[in-house]
């Protein structure tokens, strides 16, 4: 019976039109996203399966706060409700919601980026836009996978200089046949939710860019596949059909990624507040800090500390729910 009682909260929120609801002694109200109460706390709970809604409702009842609620609708296929309170949320309240299994809880900024205004997203590629580290996969196909993977992990943790580690790992590929590049391109595993996230941003005239410490064939593949606005990565040197173990041209390191945020924002006249970056490793920290809103994605500890928010459980479809739709017509 309690489960049915808790589920009734979502039935009211999603299916009914009444302005208020008495829920276990709490006086709850509703709002639409673009007319949220101002000046108080604003929390979004994002989840994939609706079977967690009874637990969310139970947490709301345990909080005892007079929330105003909204159902946040996006195209990318997750579920989201917004909780607004005139009273500040204590650490106890935040822990109550953040401890829910299969639910991501995000405190919204006072002025979050706006989805239905032009913006910019700069993405890392390896382990962010795709599920793998390309250098590790190339090394495995070249027979030197274990040695290279260990260096990659240390570089992502921020224990090694990126350019030095890149050149060292690439040198291990000396003599490998260039056909391994196309083989990997043909089976490049996109991160779950990538296509949906990019499509939703592009539908609102956002610019989407990849800046990767990986290699040009793979970012080029993504650029064509997803109709991205730009893609930057390192150029592998090839002679006579073989990798020669070097990269040439400008190395796409942490500073290059950070500069990409500023350069692309100026190129497309993206206003402050609308410049986002997302990544997973320590090499992404300057890029995250250069953006107005930095997102850590299933990230290493150092990047989590630097980011504004961290996506830890769900996939990339979460990102549009972190932005604000500021008009009903959109």
By the 8 A CB rule, do 251 and 164 touch? Answer: no
Residue located via tokens 């994605």: 297
Residues sharing a CB contact under 8 Å with residue 29, sequence separation 6 or more, in sequence order:
19, 20, 21, 66, 67, 68, 69
Q: Bridge partners of 234?
A: 215
Tell me how far CA of residue 228 lies from CA of 179, 219, 318, in angstroms.
25, 10, 19
Angle, in degrees to the nearest 10, between helices 216-226 and 194-203: 60
Question: From the candidates 73, 86, 124, 292, which is the catalytic residue?
Answer: 124
How are beta strands 103-107 and 207-215 bridged, if at all?
unpaired
CA 125 to each of CA 5, 106, 137, 280, 309: distance values in angstroms, whole numbers, following the listed order:
44, 24, 14, 9, 19
Active-site residue among 86, 126, 136, 315? 126
Give the integer Cα–Cα distance in Å for 48 and 46.
7
What are the Cα distances from residue 248, in Å, to 31, 124, 133, 242, 256? 55, 20, 20, 15, 15
Alpha helices in 118-191 (DSSP H): 134-141, 145-156, 162-171, 179-186
**Is residue 126 flagged as an active site residue?**
yes
Residue 124 annotated to the active site? yes
Q: Tokens standing for 262?
A: 């500023």
Show which residues are catalytic.
Answer: 124, 126
């Amino acid at each position: 019976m309690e489960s049915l009682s808790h589920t009734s909260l979502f039935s009211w929120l999603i299916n009914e039109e009444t302005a208020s609801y008495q829920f276990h002694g709490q006086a709850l109200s509703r709002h639409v996203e673009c007319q949220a109460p101002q000046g108080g706390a604003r929390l979004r709970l994002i989840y994939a399966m609706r079977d967690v809604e009874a637990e969310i409702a139970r947490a709301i009842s345990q909080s005892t706060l007079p929330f105003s609620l909204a159902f946040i609708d996006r195209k990318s296929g997750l579920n989201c409700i917004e909780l607004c309170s005139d009273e500040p949320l204590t650490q106890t309240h935040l822990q109550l919601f953040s401890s829910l299994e299969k639910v991501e809880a995000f405190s919204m900024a006072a002025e979050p980026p706006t989805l239905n205004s032009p913006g910019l997203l700069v993405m890392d590629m390896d382990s962010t836009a795709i599920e793998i580290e390309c250098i590790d996969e190339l090394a495995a196909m070249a027979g030197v996978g274990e040695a290279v993977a260990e260096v990659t992990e240390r570089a992502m943790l921020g224990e090694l200089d990126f350019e030095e580690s890149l050149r060292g790992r690439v040198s291990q590929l000396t003599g490998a046949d260039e056909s391994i590049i196309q083989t990997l391109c043909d089976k490049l595993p996109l991160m779950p939710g990538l296509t949906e996230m990019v499509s939703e941003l592009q539908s609102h005239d956002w610019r989407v860019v990849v800046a990767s410490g990986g290699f040009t064939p793979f970012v080029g593949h993504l650029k064509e596949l997803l109709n991205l606005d730009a893609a930057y990565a390192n150029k592998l040197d090839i002679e006579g059909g073989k990798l020669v173990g070097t990269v040439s041209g400008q190395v796409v390191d942490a500073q290059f990624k950070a500069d990409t945020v500023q350069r692309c924002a100026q190129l497309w006249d993206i206003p402050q507040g609308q410049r986002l970056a997302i990544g997973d490793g320590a090499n992404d920290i300057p890029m995250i800090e250069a953006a107005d809103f930095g997102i850590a994605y299933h990230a290493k500890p150092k990047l989590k500390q630097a980011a504004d928010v961290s996506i830890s459980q769900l996939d990339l479809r979460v990102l549009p729910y972190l932005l604000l739709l500021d008009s009903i017509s959109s």
